[in-house]
Amino acid sequence: MLVYSDADQNSLPVTYADDTFHFVGVTPKETYLSTRKIIHAAKETGCDGIHPGYGFLSEDASFAKACEEDGLTFVGPSSDSIEKLENKLTARKTIRDVGVPIIPGSDRPLKDDDDAVAIAQSIGFPVILKAVYGGGGRGMRIAKSAEEIRRFYRLTRMEAISSFGKSEMYIEKQLASPRHVEIQALAEKRGHVVVLGERECSIQRRHQKLLEEAPSIGITDILRSALSDAAKKGLEASGYTNAGTVEFLVDDAGKFYFLEVNKRVQVEHLVTELTTGIDIIEEQLSIAFDSHMNLSQNEVKVRGWAINCRINAEDPRNEFTPSPGKVIHYHAPAGPGIRVDSALYSGYVVPEYYDSLIVKLAAYGRNRKDAIRRMKGALNELEVIGIPTTIPLHQSIMTEKQFNDGEFSTTYLDILGPRLQKTLARLEENAAALAAANTAITMPLKNTWTHRSNWRRFALHMHRRGW
């Protein structure tokens, strides 16, 4: 059974679902963020549980609690463990206590901007001001000096209140150019944690991931097993169940720091599914409903390489502003190792109310080179006509040397900037050529001169003489 808002009534999931429940309205607040309405819909249609997906209420402790109280199985961790990890300061403490390194920073909420400056000076600039209850790249700001902290303090605090409903903030040191590496894990109620390998998610824009890979090209086997151990210990210590991801930052010396726990299945889980052959959603359901998973650690084998490109309805020529609207033509690539997760179809109107992610395009290969080659082909085949998308951004990345060499960090997009501009300029040139070709072929010059007109002969004569 699927709940949907007015804005999603023409979506494919609604067409394909066994049963649906309609919410009047379009805004998240009156639809997908309404705990009351969702619980009501579930009870009304006889559901025994709720899978929260990866947006909206998927990491909301009070929503999980409401499910528990109403006798509905929440597919995810318990409300207690969400609560424990929701507060970033508590999460940092839990993780530090099991011996996992955390990024230097404050271990209590900031009192005011003076307090923030004092802590920043003791750990060194630059620093990141962060909302204690934040997530998803929002409610955070980088400050390079005491003045910047004073300038951003109020702003970030307001953002924290409006996005997360709580004003507390803390401070973390900003690492120079780290990699973002995360461990995918599955945990069952007996405290048994299985890790499914890591994902490399360094390619980001404004703390939003754009491209993910499994495995990571930037870490050694020693670091890989250190990260896995740290993730296991951290999840066991917080009594975690179901699918979860432990995120780390790795600096250029190979030192790693705990970043946060994602208490849900993630957008990029498909790359792990490709390299392990494990259906993470199916495991989530087993853990939630049968209290066990069908899997032991020694059954997990990571094979080959997978890359995911997030295709967003955003205009790369216009600072990536969202570009909702009608898709007049859609064609998805296929072939060995290609996976397309998308609900687009020709004629679909991408609503303006929700996330701009419209296609997850993943390529799997025997090795990284193979996966990149397949991704290039798939990006060329993928057609989303009608709204601007981030396809050219990914095409630009796929042919860029540092990406191909595996030498990149979270600052990669700064390097890519000028290259992307070149790609876009070249696209426009090609488009201009095609516009002329289209005109030449489809609209032959109207022959306003009649065949035997002397005027035409005269004009031709003048033209040949160079007029």
Partner 1 sequence: MRTYRVQSDEKTYDVTVESKNKRECRVEMKDATIECVRNQPEEISTWAVRREDKRFHARARSLGSNRVEVWIGGLPFHFTVTPVGVAYVEPIRPTSGAKSGEVHAIMPGRITSILVKPGEEVSVGTPLVILEAMKMQNEIVSHKAGRVTSIKVREGDTVRKDDVLLQIR
Catalytic residues: 264
Confirm if 402 and 412 have CB atoms less than 8 A apart.
yes
Q: How far apart are CA 379 and CA 361, in angstroms?
A: 8
Q: Which of residues 105-164 bind partner 1 (CB under 8 A)?
A: none
Q: How far apart are CA 180 and CA 249, in angstroms?
A: 5
Residue 390 binding partner 1, by CB under 8 A: yes
Nearer to partner 1, 190 or 463 (CB): 463
Residue 430 binding partner 1, by CB under 8 A: yes
Write down the least CB distance from residue 333 to partner 1, Å: 12
Write down the least CB distance from residue 324 to partner 1, Å: 14
Write down the least CB distance from residue 311 to partner 1, Å: 8
Q: How far apart are CA 34 and CA 56, in angstroms?
A: 10
Confirm if 199 and 265 have CB atoms less than 8 A apart.
no
Q: How far apart are CA 140 and CA 209, in angstroms?
A: 15
Query: Which one of 105, 139, 234, 316 is in contact with partner 1 (CB under 8 A)?
Result: 316
Residue 334 binding partner 1, by CB under 8 A: no
Q: Which of residues 199-238 bind partner 1 (CB under 8 A)?
A: none
Question: Which of the stretches 30-38, 159-167, 181-189, 435-443 binds partner 1 when contact is defined by CB under 8 A?
Answer: 435-443
Q: Which of residues 255-314 bind partner 1 (CB under 8 A)?
A: 311
Residue 382 binding partner 1, by CB under 8 A: yes
Question: Quick one: tokens of 338?
Answer: 């290609």
Q: Which of residues 439-458 bind partner 1 (CB under 8 A)?
A: 439-445, 447, 449, 451
Query: Which residues sit opposite 184 in a β-bridge?
Result: 245
Query: Which one of 29, 401, 452, 463 is in contact with partner 1 (CB under 8 A)?
Result: 463
Nearer to partner 1, 21 or 449 (CB): 449
Beta strands in 109-252 (DSSP E): 127-135, 138-143, 169-173, 179-188, 192-205, 208-214, 242-250
| Strand 349-350 relative to strand 321-322, pairing | unpaired
Nearer to partner 1, 370 or 383 (CB): 383
Confirm if 63 and 57 have CB atoms less than 8 A apart.
yes
Q: How far apart are CA 114 and CA 384, in angstroms?
A: 50
3-class secondary structure, 340: strand
| Strand 329-331 relative to strand 383-385, pairing | antiparallel
Q: How many CB atoms lie within 10 A of CB 343?
A: 15
Nearer to partner 1, 289 or 458 (CB): 458
Query: Which one of 392, 402, 413, 419 is in contact with partner 1 (CB under 8 A)?
Result: 392
Write down the least CB distance from residue 267 to partner 1, Å: 19
Query: Which one of 142, 155, 334, 435 is in contact with partner 1 (CB under 8 A)?
Result: 435
Residue 380 binding partner 1, by CB under 8 A: yes
Element containing residue 318 per DSSP (H, E) = none
Residues 6+ apart with CB under 8 A from 8: 14, 351
Write down the least CB distance from residue 177 to partner 1, Å: 28
Helices (H), 4-60: 12-16, 35-44
Write down the least CB distance from residue 428 to partner 1, Å: 6
Confirm if 362 and 274 have CB atoms less than 8 A apart.
yes
Question: Which of the stretches 100-108, 213-221, 333-341, 429-437 binds partner 1 when contact is defined by CB under 8 A?
Answer: 429-437
Residue 429 binding partner 1, by CB under 8 A: yes
Q: Which residues bind partner 1 (CB under 8 A)?
A: 311, 315-317, 328-329, 380, 382-392, 395, 424, 427-445, 447, 449, 451, 459-460, 462-463
